[in-house]
Structure 1
Amino acid sequence: MKEGNILSAIYTGKTKNLGVIGYPIHHSLSPVIQNTALQSMHLDYAYIAMPVRENELEAAVKGLKALNFTGFNITIPHKINIIKYLDEIDQSASLIGAVNTVLIKNDRLYGYNTDYEGFISAFQSVKFTLKRINTVVLGAGGAARAVIYGLLHAGVGSVHIAARNAEKAKKLANDFKELGNISSSDWNEKMFQEILPKTDLLVNTTPLGMDMYIDKMPPVDITMLPSNAFVYDIIYTPEKTKLLVEAEKYGYTVLNGEYMLAGQGAAALEKWSGCGKIDVDLMRIALHEALLKKL
């Protein structure tokens, strides 16, 4: 759907309101992908981006509830702090320790984490099977938590966390040890080098490859991966990080974070609208076109 069609939508007093809060938020492409999907489904909803500073979060949540919003997304820096203002939190969000989606229903606020759903849905789109495979997750931050939960929930054989901070990686592994076979190491350790040849899926959750780190990548010897390995970088801008460029150079199948962003948006929209299957491909295409316009 073209941007012009989005701007030509007619909103009425019956239009249901949705949005995303964070700070900064001007760069968010969630309004593009959500409004594209809403209009394609002929749903009378409007989705907007709302800047909310850290010290404004409580007031913003009360305001959105008072204004009868149907729901909203949460991004940096509120994904953890939002939890204290919710009435109920989904089990997956509780385990991940962060909420990115809130549903407001019957005067109550319900928190979810659809990041892991978006991450997993990408594999369905490219028909890659996760069952019983060996996986490596690079990084031990907040994004890694959603990815690790998603992998273990999907039934992978093992997850190894490799990060610059070995203690942080160890703690993260300990947080999820009840869900499956999980281990950790410093990514400069010999142990990590020995794991790479047995890795079916390598996932980067670090910021290395984007913004000020655009010429960097995690210290991984790509050539040590099996020839049929899959390399997934959850960064979506640039379209191909240095890690993905290197992986493609050696013939590996690669994927960036566009599917994850579109997928988490689709999962959120399902919860808000109560509709069945959302067209995630339409959302991803809208995202991709919006990113191209920014170049």
Structure 2
Amino acid sequence: MDLPTVSHLVHTADPGQWRPGDAWLAGGTVLFSYGSDTLERLLDITTAGWEPLTASAAGLEIAATCTIAELFAYPGAAPADLRTRWRALDLVALCCDSFVASFKVWNVSTVGGNICTGLPAGPMTALTASLDGIALIHSPDGSTRRLPVTELVTGDCRTALAPGELLRSVSVPAAALESRTAFRRQSLTNLGRSGALLIGRLDADGGFVLTVTAATKRPVQVRFASAPDAAELRAALDAAVEPGLWHDDVHGLPEWRRYMTGRLAEEIRAELAAPVPSPGFSPDGKDGVQ
């Protein structure tokens, strides 16, 4: 940790107290790793007392201060009827595991922090964007605004947050949580950072949604009224991702990311387009045999 210019730690979640030279502090895993020679104060929101996860008929609200460990544990602790209805909760473990991080990081790193760093490979961005998450943002002037996560992260380490603005929570609608989902992730190495992370969703009304992250500098989403065929999906991705939007770093060249995105997208499309086996169905043809 290299923050030699920081002189004060302030426990507050009030954007009205923010001033130039401040940085919001949650888990701090990225802030402490990168360091700074310009910051003067850290505004610590971890003592704000926000409930990490709140379920309601409308969906699931995830506080910005919810740790990865708390989120990972949620599906297993949720009521059985909720787990049955909210099938997309299966994505939680998959996205948390995409950190490829130790339990020490999971216990301090936060959902909001991961989104606000704007890292293309941020798995919390992938999770919340794919489920149509809406960010609640508090501003220094006392106002609030809501913004889809797909619009909150605007590029590599860039967001739509104005100076002093604070991410309070992300709300995921029940309709998205009730959808069938499919997840694919690819990395150059077994325990490496995501080079492509795609999540597909098939809604109750038949709508198909595919969200691309990690391969692109910001989340990219394509939507269809029903499951597309392979050519339709490929054309939509080509139109949605301009050449300069493919991410380029040591974790994967743009050409490789583009290829893997197309391959994984087709796998997701095929999986979600396939009919769901009826209860008791057995691949060996002996229906009802478990």
Question: Which is helix-richer, 1 or 2?
Answer: 1
Asked if these proteins are the same fold (TM beyond 0.5), I'd say no
TM-score (norm 2): 0.28
TM-score (norm 1): 0.28
